[in-house]
């Protein structure tokens, strides 16, 4: 909210003309329509939920503020600024992953005693539960990996040219750019590798499957060097099969109660959610209303009623109704349409493929979890949408990351 206010003040005081780079407003009219529908449905859901104050807080944190941030991104960022966003992704992933590795080695700083115990240890990073860390890191790891590969294969320039009055030889400038490029690649690569380790140590099967899906997407649509990726994916699939075969990776997860493993718990939640939505198909349960609405359908009393159904489509449908789900699907449709449009129209569009691979990870992981209803995750979602929009509306030059 503070960022939006500062942006508004600058727009008013300096009469900024950032949006003049937009070639044609029709490029984003569909996005605007779906975002308005999404926010309108969320606003209605404030009053259909059981607790007005709690619903208003969720609306502000997960809908209003992230969408305002989207406006700032679209109106101010240029294509050359997007590499800085990747820098932030890399630094944040690196810090959280180093903490997670420390937790894995020592068991310290894990609030839940069950997860802190060596036999059942699951890292949480700065968050209170393992899946929160995995939900953030999974799409970021995929995007960093794609960014690193694109940079290695294409060796794009790093940083902006020096000011015209700077007296520096071309050779010295070339050396500086080369060093900066190497450091950038080291940061991206280190963050991706350590981030992947951290995701593994969270023991989130959904995140690992999401990462694999994102990499598969990257392989399918990054035509250059596809054969090398295919070999790597086959090896990764074989390794995953080995882990499952020897019991090191159990897709069901450890049951804390009878019948309460990851798969059966989700199947129960989805069934109960569907029963509730059949009676409230248009409005759903309202913001902060899922637990109360689904209680009458909850039969397995040894399993707690979670805040959300742990499926991205059921999450939105139950919280902000059918219109909100349609708005979300519209935003996703715009995202991929814009991505493929840029991929087909530009000479080299590594960045659009990287963003779509990250979003694919986000969505696939979201089939078994809650990838949006959290402050950092809702902002991450709209950052991806904003970056794709910037690529779509600000010229057709080559996208380099």
- Per-run averaged pLDDT (10 residues), the chain, 401 residues: 54 49 64 96 95 95 95 86 90 96 95 90 94 97 91 53 48 68 89 96 93 90 66 70 62 50 84 95 95 90 87 97 97 94 63 94 96 96 95 61 58
What pLDDT is stored for residue 347 in this prediction?
44
What pLDDT is stored for residue 75 in this prediction?
85
What pLDDT is stored for residue 220 in this prediction?
83
What pLDDT is stored for residue 258 in this prediction?
46
> How many Å apart are CA 128 and CA 225, to the nearest integer?
40
What pLDDT is stored for residue 335 in this prediction?
96
Partner residues linked to 399 by β-bridges? 349
> How many Å apart are CA 357 and CA 229, to the nearest integer?
14
What are the DSSP calls for 344-386, one per residue?
HHSS-BHHHHHHHHHHHHHHHHHTSS-SSSSHHHHHHHHHHHH
What pLDDT is stored for residue 93 in this prediction?
96
* Nearest Cα residue to 383 out of 34, 140, 55, 98: 140
pTM to 2 decimal places:
0.85
Question: Where are the domains positioned within the chain?
Answer: 2-393
Alpha helices by DSSP H, 49-162: 52-59, 65-76, 82-106, 113-116, 130-154
What pLDDT is stored for residue 191 in this prediction?
96
Here the tokens at position 108 are 């310290």
Here the tokens at position 145 are 């990996």
Here the tokens at position 122 are 């699951």
- Judge whether 142 and 211 are in contact, CB under 8 Å: yes
3-class DSSP assignment, residue 399: strand
What pLDDT is stored for residue 10 in this prediction?
57
Contacts of 362 (CB under 8 A, 6+ apart): 138, 139, 210, 371, 380, 381, 384
What pLDDT is stored for residue 150 in this prediction?
79
């Amino acid at each position: 909210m503070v960022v939006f206010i500062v942006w508004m003040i600058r727009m008013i005081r300096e009469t900024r003309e950032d949006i003049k780079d937009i070639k044609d407003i029709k490029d984003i009219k569909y996005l605007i329509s779906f975002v308005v529908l999404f926010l309108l449905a969320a606003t209605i859901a404030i009053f259909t939920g059981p607790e007005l104050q709690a619903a208003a807080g969720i609306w502000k944190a997960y809908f209003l503020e992230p969408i305002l941030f989207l406006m700032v991104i679209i109106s101010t960022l240029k294509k050359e600024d997007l590499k800085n966003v990747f820098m932030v992704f890399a630094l944040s992933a690196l810090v959280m992953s180093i903490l997670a590795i420390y937790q894995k080695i020592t068991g310290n700083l894990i609030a839940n005693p069950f997860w802190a115990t060596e036999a059942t240890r699951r890292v949480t990073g700065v968050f209170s539960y393992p899946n929160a860390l995995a939900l953030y890191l999974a799409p970021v790891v995929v995007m960093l990996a794609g960014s690193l590969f694109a940079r290695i294969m294409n060796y794009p320039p790093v940083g902006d040219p020096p000011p015209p009055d700077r007296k520096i030889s071309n050779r010295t400038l070339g050396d500086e750019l080369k060093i900066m490029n190497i450091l950038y690649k080291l940061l991206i690569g280190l963050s991706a590798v350590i981030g992947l380790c951290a995701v593994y140590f969270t023991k989130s099967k959904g995140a690992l499957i999401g990462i694999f899906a994102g990499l598969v997407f990257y392989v399918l649509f990054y035509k250059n060097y596809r054969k090398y990726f295919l070999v790597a994916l086959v090896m990764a699939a074989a390794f995953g099969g080995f882990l499952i075969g020897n019991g090191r990776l159990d897709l069901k997860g450890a049951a804390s109660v009878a019948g309460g493993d990851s798969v059966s718990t989700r199947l129960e939640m989805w069934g109960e959610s569907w029963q509730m939505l059949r009676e409230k198909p248009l409005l759903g349960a309202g913001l902060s209303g899922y637990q109360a609405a689904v209680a009458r359908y909850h039969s397995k009393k040894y399993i707690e009623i979670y805040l959300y159904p742990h499926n991205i489509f059921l999450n939105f449908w139950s919280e902000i109704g059918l219109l909100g789900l349609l708005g979300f699907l519209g935003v996703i449709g715009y995202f991929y349409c814009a991505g493929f449009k840029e991929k087909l129209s530009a000479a080299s569009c590594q960045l659009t493929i990287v963003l779509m691979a990250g979003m694919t990870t986000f969505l696939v992981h979201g089939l078994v979890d809650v990838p949006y209803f959290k402050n950092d995750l809702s902002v991450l979602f709209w950052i991806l949408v904003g970056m794709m929009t910037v690529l779509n509306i600000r010229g057709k030059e080559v996208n380099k990351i």
